[in-house]
């Protein structure tokens, strides 16, 4: 590892603003003292602002997977059914988590590159009866697909008295997600993606309806949500929190508030639109169906005869830009970009420029400059350049 900076265009972790990095070098304080409590109260309030919720938001010292495990393990009693549409690696992991905790996953298979429809969810709820919860991965990071029908699904869950659980790990903070308006009972996210904080923290929002179920389930020790709630009442965590990460999060959330949610979502969308336009101008094939394309993760099929390994090696070594490959059955078939956190037009132009050079170097036939030019048109039209 060198300290020469890279442009991180991964679907997490993402670039962290210098202001947020600097916050982590503050002195360690007592996590049971007044200074911590004041900061943690502010952090929790600002998390509620980003989640757009009045529900409790619990901060966990873990990566995002811990947040998903925490939500599932706290509501599940042996044998209970949870509906999970699977359209990629991360929704597959939610299904596996339900299995590990002795639940019965009701899988709705969905073509990868596409998203589930509300009709399919309602069909499953009608057929199965007594379903404890419906879980949806809002943004399937492995395929670059956003499931846009959460509002409808929230209403359906209310009608069938099922909890609504959303894995929003790669998207919360980068696209619209009003937790209360969409009737989401548990919403999970991680620090290291659209919240532009270093990795190591996960967050779970919990509605009163979810709390009433949690009281009845047999829970695990570290991820015990009622224990978290008890300590949260005093602005504390049950166990030692990752203090430098909380400092960083505090700063990142203040930056998010300064920007405002709507302008932030618009910035992500215009950056994603510009990147899509550039990739299409370069005649590359996008993996996700157009109607479900994500504003925060973009997946591109490898051009024939060129491997994603060669692409990201060259992008990193020659141009200092870090991008990701495919996952699961899509390994060795695609490359992926994150458009998250502090992303801006300069990052997109730089990335497209480097990608054009990289692909040309690797023998791909295209008009050099076509990608950058298409992206520039989008930014100009949207008055962002
Ligand atoms: C949608 C989704 N769920 C879960 C995870 C797992 O998060 P972590 O790697 O932080 O444990 C990720 C990470 O990429 C994700 O994108």
Look at residues 58, 54, 99 and name the one whose alpha carbon lies nearest to residue 81: 99
CA dihedral 239, 240, 245, 247 (to 10 degrees): 110
Ligand 1 touching residue 141 (CB < 6 A): yes
Residues 6+ away with beta carbon under 8 Å from 330: 112, 142, 143, 287, 299
Distance 64 CA to ligand 1 centre (A): 5
Ligand 1 touching residue 195 (CB < 6 A): no
* Burial (CB count within 10 angstroms: exposed 0-12, middle 13-18, buried 19+), residue 118: middle
pLDDT of the residue at 5: 86
pLDDT of the residue at 219: 77
pLDDT of the residue at 4: 83
pLDDT of the residue at 368: 96
DSSP bridge pairs for 86: 109
Distance 88 CA to ligand 1 centre (A): 12
Candidates 169, 174, 177, 324: which one to mutate for ligand 1, based on the most atoms within 8 Å of Cβ?
169
Q: What is the mean pLDDT of each run of 10 residues along the chain (385 residues)?
A: 88 98 98 98 98 98 98 96 98 98 97 98 97 98 98 98 98 98 99 98 98 88 96 98 98 98 98 98 98 98 97 97 98 98 98 98 96 98 96
pLDDT of the residue at 215: 85
pLDDT of the residue at 218: 80
Give the H or E element holding residue 22. Answer: helix 18-23
CA distances from 27 to 30, 36, 265, 306, 381 (A): 10, 12, 33, 48, 46
Q: What is the DSSP letter of 84?
A: E
Distance 169 CA to ligand 1 centre (A): 6
Let me know: does 9 contact 351? Beta carbons within 8 Å: yes
Distance 138 CA to ligand 1 centre (A): 12
Ligand 1 touching residue 12 (CB < 6 A): yes
């Amino acid at each position: 590892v060198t300290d020469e900076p890279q442009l991180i265009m991964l679907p997490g972790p993402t670039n962290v603003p210098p202001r947020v990095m600097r916050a982590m070098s503050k002195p360690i304080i007592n996590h049971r003292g007044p200074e911590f409590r004041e900061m943690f109260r502010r952090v929790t309030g600002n998390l509620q602002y980003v989640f757009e919720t009045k529900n409790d938001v619990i901060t966990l010292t873990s990566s995002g997977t811990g947040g998903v495990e925490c939500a599932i393990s706290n509501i599940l009693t042996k044998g209970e059914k949870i509906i999970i549409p699977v359209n990629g690696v991360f929704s597959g992991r939610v299904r596996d988590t339900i299995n590990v905790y002795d639940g019965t996953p009701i899988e709705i298979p969905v073509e990868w590159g596409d998203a589930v429809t509300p009709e399919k969810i309602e069909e499953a709820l009608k057929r199965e009866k007594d379903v404890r919860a419906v879980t949806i991965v809002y943004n399937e990071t492995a395929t670059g697909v956003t499931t846009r029908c959460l509002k409808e699904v929230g209403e359906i869950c209310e009608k069938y008295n099922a909890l609504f659980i959303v894995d929003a790990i790669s998207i919360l903070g980068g696209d619209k997600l009003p937790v209360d308006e969409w009737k989401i009972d548990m919403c999970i996210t991680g620090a290291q993606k659209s919240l532009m904080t270093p990795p190591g923290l996960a967050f779970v929002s919990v509605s009163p309806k979810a709390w009433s179920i949690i009281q009845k389930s047999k829970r695990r020790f570290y991820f015990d949500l009622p224990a978290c709630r008890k300590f949260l009442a005093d602005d504390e965590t049950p166990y030692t929190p990752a203090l430098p990460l909380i400092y960083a999060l505090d700063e990142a959330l203040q930056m998010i508030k300064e920007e405002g949610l709507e302008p932030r979502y618009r910035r992500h969308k215009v950056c994603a639109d510009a990147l899509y336009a550039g990739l299409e101008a370069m005649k590359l094939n996008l993996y996700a169906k157009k109607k479900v394309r994500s504003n925060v993760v973009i997946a591109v099929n490898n051009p024939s005869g060129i491997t994603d390994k060669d692409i990201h090696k060259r992008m990193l070594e020659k141009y200092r830009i870090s991008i990701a490959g495919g996952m699961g059955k899509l390994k060795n078939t695609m490359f992926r970009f994150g458009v998250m956190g502090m992303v801006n037009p300069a990052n997109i132009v730089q990335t497209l420029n480097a990608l054009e050079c990289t692909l040309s170097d690797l023998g791909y036939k295209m008009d050099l400059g076509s990608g950058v030019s298409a992206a520039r048109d989008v930014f100009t039209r949207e008055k962002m350049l």
